[in-house]
Structure formats: structure tokens, C-alpha cells
Structure 1
Amino acid sequence: MFFILHVNTCNVSIPHGHSHDNKSSSVENTSEQPKSSNNINIRAATIHVIGDFIQSIGVLFAAILINIKPEYKLADPICTFIFSILVLITTVTIMRDIVLVLMEGVPSNVNYKQVVDDLVQISGVRNAHSLHIWSLSTQKVALSVHIAIDNDQDPLKILSDAQKMLRKKHSITRSTIQVETYNEHIMNSCENCQQLGTK
């Protein structure tokens, strides 16, 4: 079983050396391939194999006990019940991760408020709003946001700084960032613009 899982893990993805992303939106870092330990399928298969092994030990223990003392016939269903509960508990985290991806929720390893604060801290950024963060898979996180900058700032430099910060600090490699000029009147009258961070 280990050999099959290892071979399948090694053949999961073969990068073809370039990105199809547009320069003004996200920049995908193809050098950072997800580790197989983070793959939900590998995690589920590993837990399944370990669970089967633990249950086999429980059945063996119950069989030896019943063979030695036949009056302890309840040992078999008790061991099965206990080890089934243990396996169920270990699958809860996998189920949570799968539901999070299917519902496109904010991943548990990304702090929404910290992302807002970090975006606003970029030099030249006055406001960050309409921020959406969701899981594309257990390894890939996507983000879209509007950032308002001062008139005298270079939008391409700020876009690049924002993408670098998101990759480095939050491991977000798929981002769509709309850079707009800061207008105090519009920002004060727009509900979406006031929801998040402002300098």
C-alpha cells in the first residue's frame, strides 16, 4: 500500500514551466509545489490505513482474550466500538477541510484581519476594501481585493508589492488586485469602501 501511495504521489503534478496568469492580476509561484503531506487524498488514505491497522490490533487483542477466557465475549464488540470512535475522531479534520474547500470558506491558516492590516501597511495604500479570501483546494488560496492608492503612487509597483506580501506572509499565490486612485468623497460615501482598512 505504501508503494502505491508513494508512486501516485510522485506522479501527481508535472509543472510545464510557465504561468498563464496575467501580469496585472495574480502571479503564481510555480516553484512552490505543494507537499504530498498536505494533499487531502494522501491524508485520507494514510488515516484509513492506520485506522485499519489499529482496528486489526483491536480484533487480534479481543480474539486472544476470548480464546483465553471465553466468558469475555463482549470484548470483541467493545474493542470494535472503541477503535471505531478513534477512527471517526481522526477523520473529523479531513471532513472539515473538505467542507471548507467545497463551501469556498476562508482557510483556517489565513487571518482575514491580518491580511487587511498588511495590505493597508503597504507604502502608498490608503484603503483596502471588497476583500474576499477563499479556498480553491487544501493547498491553494485565492484572494480578490480593491486597494485605493494616493495619486502620486505607481500602481504597478504597489500591485507588485501587494502580491509579494500576500505570497510571503500569507502563502496566497492566486490573487486578483484592483488598484484604484483614492478619492475621499467616494470612499466616505461607499459602504463597501468603509468596511475594511483605511489609513
Structure 2
Amino acid sequence: MSAGHSHGEVRAGHEKKLWIALALTTSFMVAEVIGAFITGSLALLSDAAHMLTDSTALAISLVAIQIAKRPADRKRTFGYARFEILAAAFNAMLLFMVAVYILYEAYQRIKTPTEIQSTAMLIVALIGLAVNLVSMRLLMSGSNESLNVKGAYLEVWSDMLGSLGVIGAALIIRFTGWIWIDSIVAAAIGFWVLPRTWVLLKESMNILLQGVPDGIDIAEVELRIRAVKGIEDIHDLHIWALTSGKNVMSAHLVVQHSSGGEQEILTEVTRLMSDEFHIDHTTLQIENSEFHAGLAENEGMQH
């Protein structure tokens, strides 16, 4: 009883910290966009786009927590976990367009520099750094207990680097007058966001297309299943993910006619998939080897 109660408290604590971090990050993102237009700094606008990734990551983490509370029903027999992936895919496409725009604008400004208010730019960037540090402090402890919180923590940590870049650009402009450095920092942040955006989109599309989850070698899975005593063959093997970290497998297992112990085989394969491949939802169908051979022979005669 005490262990279950503790776990509930930890999860509630994670949710509260995520809400606070989301409120801080989103509020400052809006302020940073306004500051970018007031100061004329493209680097600030680029950092605001990066903070959009943080806000979305935090929001997706909160959505995942809420979804986890909803049971499956007759219309959504697997539950609502895939909503998290749809949100992530939308986020990736939006960020890709924003990053391309920033890179284009940086190119235009290098050709035609615009005046930048470095003092206001520096003040806004320093506030942004403070927001990132507070958010990191909030999420640090939970990052070791929850993958959701860890993902959000890493997003905020990476955005802190963007804030440091903007601060550096503001200081250089203030003391040297090199306005072009603003476009260079903006482009650097844009190039920093693009690869991460591509990875997010690629992973999201792989899940939506029911591809084999990253980190799982389907050939290795098949090899390990064939090594289980009593199994002669395996076919119709499918492995996919409902959402990140929630893997599913289905397969037909051909067993020896005289082996018996089908339940033991099912138990062993299920345990093997969970322990070695982190596949916790398996659907297995047992087929008799003689019956399977007869089906194959009939199909061969028909062809």
C-alpha cells in the first residue's frame, strides 16, 4: 500500500512541476516574440522558436500524463496514447517551417542589416536565461524518475544554450556594433533546431506507419523466439509502437506436435519479449506443426 501511494505522489509532483514550467516557458516565449519585434533582433525571434519546442514538449508530456489516466473503451481499444504522437508530428512540421523562415530571414538580413536595440535585446535574453534555469531546477529531480519529464528537461536545457547565444550576440553588438552577428546567431539556432525537428518527425511518422520501434532488431527478436524450446517456426511477426515507449507484438508460433506445454511456451516468449526487448503487450497464436505443414502443402497445390 505504501509503495503505491508513494508512486502516486511522485506522479502528481511531476505534473505540477510540468505545469509550472509550461506556464513560465510559454509566457516568456510570447514576451520574447514581442521583444524581437521591438528590438529588431532575429536571434531573439529564433530563440523564441526554440522555446516553442520547449513549450510543445512540456505540453505533450502533460497530455501524455492525462491520457494515461483515461482507460481504453469500445471505440479506442488501445486507449488514446497515439494522440501524443499526432501532437509531436504536428509540432515537428510547424517547427520545420519556422526554422526555414528564420534561416531565410537571416540570409536576407546579412545582405541588408537592420538596426538592433542591443540593450533591450540583452535584457530580454537574460530574463529568458532565468526562466530556463528555473524550469531546469523544477524538472531536474523528476528527470531521473520519468522519461516524460526527462525529455522536457533536455528540451529546456538545450534552449538555455540558445539564450546564452543571444546574450553573447547582444553583448558583441553593444560593444562592437557588429549587427551581422545577430543573423549569425539566429542561423545557428535555426540549424540547431532543424536536425532535432527532423528526428522528431521521423520518429513520429515511424510510429504512425506502425514501423518497428527504434532500438528493436526484428531479426534478433525472431532468432530469440526460435531458440525457445518447442518452437519449430514463426511467421506473421509484427512489432510496432502505440506511442513512444509502449511497444506491441503479434506472431504465430509453430510448435512441435508432441511437445505439449503450449502455455509454458507462451509464458516463456512473453517473458522473453518483456525482459529483453521491452515489449510488454504480446499477442501470440499457437499452431501445430503438422497442421501448419498441411496448410502449406494445400497452398502449394493450389498454385
TM-score range, shorter chain: 0.7 to 0.9
The aligned residue for residue 56 of structure 1 is: 163
The aligned residue for residue 159 of structure 1 is: 266
Instruction: Tell me the SS of whatever aligns to 1:173.
Output: strand
Aligned partner letter, 1:130? D
- CA offsets per residue over residues 59-104 of structure 1, 9 Å max, x none? 211111111111x110101111112211222333333222222121
Return the match for 1:76 from 171, 178, 182. Answer: 182
Residue 110 of structure 1: CA displacement?
0.8
TM-score (norm. length: structure 2): 0.49
Aligned partner letter, 2:205? V
Return the match for 1:93 from 199, 207, 228. Answer: 199
Question: Comparing 139-148 with 45-54, which one deviates more in the overlay?
Answer: 45-54
The aligned residue for residue 129 of structure 1 is: 235
The aligned residue for residue 120 of structure 1 is: 226
Flag the 1:73–1:86 CA change in 2: closer, same or farther, 3 A: same
The aligned residue for residue 275 of structure 2 is: 168
Give matches, 1:13-24, under 5 Å.
13=68
TM-score (norm. length: structure 1): 0.72
Tell me: higher relative CO, structure 1 or 2? Use CA pairs within 8 A at least 6 residues apart: 1
Whether 1:5 and 2:115 are equivalent positions in the alignment is: no
Whether 1:186 and 2:299 are equivalent positions in the alignment is: no
Is the Cα–Cα contact under 8 Å of residues 54 and 83 in structure 1 kept in the other structure? no
Flag the 1:14–1:93 CA change in 2: closer, same or farther, 3 A: same
Aligned partner letter, 1:176? T
Q: Take 1:175 and 1:162, find their aligned partners in 2: how far apart are those partners?
A: 9
Instruction: Tell me the SS of whatever aligns to 2:279.
Output: coil
Residue 15 of structure 1: CA displacement?
11
Aligned partner letter, 2:228? I
Q: Take 2:255 and 2:234, find their aligned partners in 1: how far apart are those partners?
A: 9
Q: Take 1:185 and 1:52, find their aligned partners in 2: how far apart are those partners?
A: 59
Q: Percent identity?
A: 23
Structure richer in helix, relative to its length: 2
Residue 144 of structure 1: CA displacement?
0.5
Q: Take 1:88 and 1:48, find their aligned partners in 2: how far apart are those partners?
A: 14
Aligned partner letter, 1:186? G
Is the Cα–Cα contact under 8 Å of residues 143 and 176 in structure 1 kept in the other structure? yes
Flag the 1:160–1:15 CA change in 2: closer, same or farther, 3 A: farther
User: Which stretches in structure 1 are left out of the alignment for 5+ residues?
Assistant: 17-34, 192-199
Instruction: Tell me the SS of whatever aligns to 2:254.
Output: strand
User: Which stretches in structure 2 are left out of the alignment for 5+ residues?
Assistant: 1-13, 21-57, 72-144
Aligned partner letter, 1:63? A
Residue 157 of structure 1: CA displacement?
1.1
Instruction: Tell me the SS of whatever aligns to 1:144.
Output: strand
Aligned partner letter, 2:293? H
Flag the 1:76–1:111 CA change in 2: closer, same or farther, 3 A: same
